[in-house]
Amino acid sequence: MFQITRIFFFLMSIISVFALSQCASYDFSRRVVQQGNLIPQEKVDRLRLGMSKQEVAILMGTSLLSPLFNNDRWDYAYTWRKGMGPMSKRYIVLYFKHNRLARIDKNLEDKLHNTI
């Protein structure tokens, strides 16, 4: 009887050590964090001045940053960060006049921001 409990305790100890060592092996600092709307260059190239809001919404999707008082400006923003590395930010702002696309402001180059 003593031999069986000793073997059982030994096996449980080994299982516990392996289980806990797997928790410690996950590196939280290497997570990739993506937020916002994906802004593919192919879709941006297809934007044309004079498009209706519906056409733009079908092409680009709805903006995650919806304005409360001015529906003539749609902001699309995207951030990407790997672990504690620098943050990459991309954005595009679409302005409408009389429900037609009138102006496009964009910064699609990956701007790296060192933030803590």
Indicate yes or no: pTM above 0.85: no
Long-range contacts of 40-48 (CB under 8 A, 24+ apart): 41/108, 44/92, 44/106, 44/108, 47/94, 47/101, 47/104, 48/101
- For the chain, give every domain's residue range: 31-113
The pLDDT tens digits for 45-93 are: 999 999 999 999 999 888 877 667 778 899 888 887 777 778 888 889 9
Confidence of residue 116 (pLDDT cuts 50, 70, 90): very low
Q: Which amino acid is at 89?
A: K
CATH code of the region 31-113: 3.30.1450.10
Q: How many CB atoms lie within 10 A of CB 59?
A: 13
Contact present, 114 and 89 (Cβ < 8 Å): no
